[in-house]
Amino acid sequence: MRRVEGRPTTGSRAVAVLLLATSFLVAVADPAEAKRRGHARKAVSGYNPPYAAMVVDVKSGRTLHAVNEDALRHPASITKVMTLYMLFEQLEKGRYDLDSPLSISANAAAQAPSKLGLRPGSTVTVEEAIKALVTKSANDVACAIGENIAGSEPRFAEMMTRKAKSLGMSRTHYANASGLPDPDQITTAHDLTLLARAIQDRFPRYYRYFQTRSFAFRGRTIGNHNRLLGNVEGVDGIKTGYTRDSGFNLMTAAKLGDRQIVAIVLGGKSGASRDRIMADLVRANLPRAFAGSRQTAPVVEVAERGRPAVVAEADSRTRTVLATADDEDIETTSSTSNAPLDIRPATTTPGSRRTTLQALPGAAQAYAGSAGQAPFPGTAGKSTARLPAVEGVASRAEGPPKDARGDSAKPVTPSPWVIQLGAMDDEDKAKSILADARSRTGMLSKAAPYTVRVTHGGTTLFRARFSGFAEQSTAQDACAALKKNGFNCFATRS
C-alpha cells in the first residue's frame, strides 16, 4: 500500500484530536497553568496607566519639572496623606493624643488588603494607626481613622474633599480614606504637590513619622513600602500608592542642605520603574532648587467664607471656626470679653532658658515648636513625653515689652485677617505664647493679641490670636516671620 508523505491517516487524526483534548483539560484543571496563561494575556495587552509628574521647589515655588500635571489621575494610597493630615489636625486640636484608642468596626476590618488584619471590636492607638498607614499602607486602619473622626467613612471623605479645596487642590475629590479603587477618587500631580507642602508646613512635628522605616506591631515587624528612604540622598518621605487603574504612584519630599523640593510621579508601569523615575527626578532637580531664605508663604488653608468677629461681650455667644476646621467643627462658644488682654508672661528664674512654655500640652506644642528642627515623637511614655517642651527661649523675667503693656488701654477688635498660634488648655498658656511670639517678632509690634475660648467634645481650649491685618498677604508674612523664630501659625479671616 502506497503511503502519501505528510498526509495523516484516519488513525493518526483521531490520536491528535485525543491529545489536544487532553491538553485542554489539563490546562483548565491546573490553576497554576491557568494563572500563567492569564499573566501571558495581560502582558500581551500592554497595560499602560497614564503617566503624570511634577517637581516643585519648596522655597521659591518654582516648577522644576512637569508632565501632565493637571490631568486627572487616581491617587491610590497617596490618599492616606490626606487621611493623616486630618488625623494630625485632631491631635493638634487636642481631641486625641498619641495613645488614644481608635475602634475597628466590622466595615473597617472587611477592607481589602493591604491591611493589618484587625478584628472587629479591637482597637489601635493613634500612633499605631499613623505608623500603619505610613509603612503598611493599611486600608483597614485608614477606614477606621475616618470612622472614628467623622462617624462614617463617606462623611470623612466629604471632609477630606473640603479640606483639599481649602488648600487649593481644586481638582481633587475623595470617595474614601484609603485610596481603594473608586472612579470618583481623583486628583492631579499639581494638587498633590500642594498637599505634600501643606502637611510639612502645618505639621512639622508629626510629618517626621513619614521617615519611619519599620515598626513593631504585636509581634510583627512591618517595613515601609517606600524604597527611596535611605537609598536616595535627601529623601525624607512620604507615600507610595498603587491600584490597577492608577499605576504605581509616589509622593516624595527631599531636602539637602538649604534646598528642598517635593515631587510627584503617577502612573508608573511598575514599582521599580516608578522608583527609578523618582530617583532621577530628585537627583536632577534638588541641586537646582533655591538655596536662599524661603520666598513663598507656607501652604495654608483659606476659608471659603467670611466669619463673624470672635471678640464680644463676656455674656454674649458667637460662632467661631478654625481656619483649618470643616463645617462639622463650627461651635457655639462663649468668647473672651473685649477687656484689654494682659499677656505678661509668668516670672521665671533669671538666666533660665526654660519658661512656662514647657508646660504646653501636645495640642499647643504642635503650633509652637522650637526654633530648630521639631523633635521626632518617640515610642515610649505618654504623648506629653513624645512632644518635648520648647527649649532655647530666653528668660522673660523682666516682663513684656512696653508696647505689649500699652495695649491694656484699649479693647481688641479683630481685623479682617488674623493669625492663630495655637489652642491651649489654659488661658494663661495662650497669653504666654502670645507674649513670647510678640517679643521675638518685630512684625507683631502693632498687632493686638487676644484669646478665644472654644469648647469641643467637652474640652475647653483657648485660641491664641493676633489681630491687626487688613490683607491676607500681611497676615501670611507675619506667620512666615514667626516660623523663622520657631513658631507655627496660620492666617485666617476673623
Amino acid at 25: L
Q: Select from 460, 455, 465 the least CA-distant residue to 490.
A: 465
pLDDT tens digit string along 224-265?
888 898 889 999 888 999 999 999 999 999 999 999 999 999
| Separation of alpha carbons 374 and 486, rounded Å | 9
Per residue of the chain (494 residues), give pLDDT as tens.
333 344 444 554 554 545 545 444 444 444 333 433 343 333 333 445 789 999 999 999 999 999 999 999 999 999 999 999 999 999 999 999 999 999 999 999 999 999 999 999 999 999 999 999 999 999 999 999 999 999 999 999 999 999 999 999 999 999 999 999 999 999 999 999 999 999 999 999 999 999 888 889 989 998 888 889 888 999 988 899 999 999 999 999 999 999 999 999 999 999 999 999 999 999 999 999 999 988 888 887 764 333 332 322 223 222 222 223 222 222 222 233 333 343 333 333 333 333 322 232 333 322 223 333 333 444 333 333 333 333 333 333 333 333 333 344 457 888 888 998 877 777 887 888 888 888 877 788 889 999 988 876 567 888 889 999 988 888 888 888 887 776 768 888 87
> Measured between alpha carbons, how far is residue 143 from residues 25, 104, 108, 177, 279 in Å?
43, 9, 5, 6, 31
Catalytic site positions: 77, 80, 137
Binding annotation for substrate: 239
Instruction: Please tell me whether residue 73 adopts helix, strand or coil conformation.
Output: strand
Contact between residue 74 and residue 181 where contact means Cβ atoms under 8 Å apart: yes
Q: What is the pLDDT of residue 299?
A: 84
The whole-chain average pLDDT of the chain stands at 74
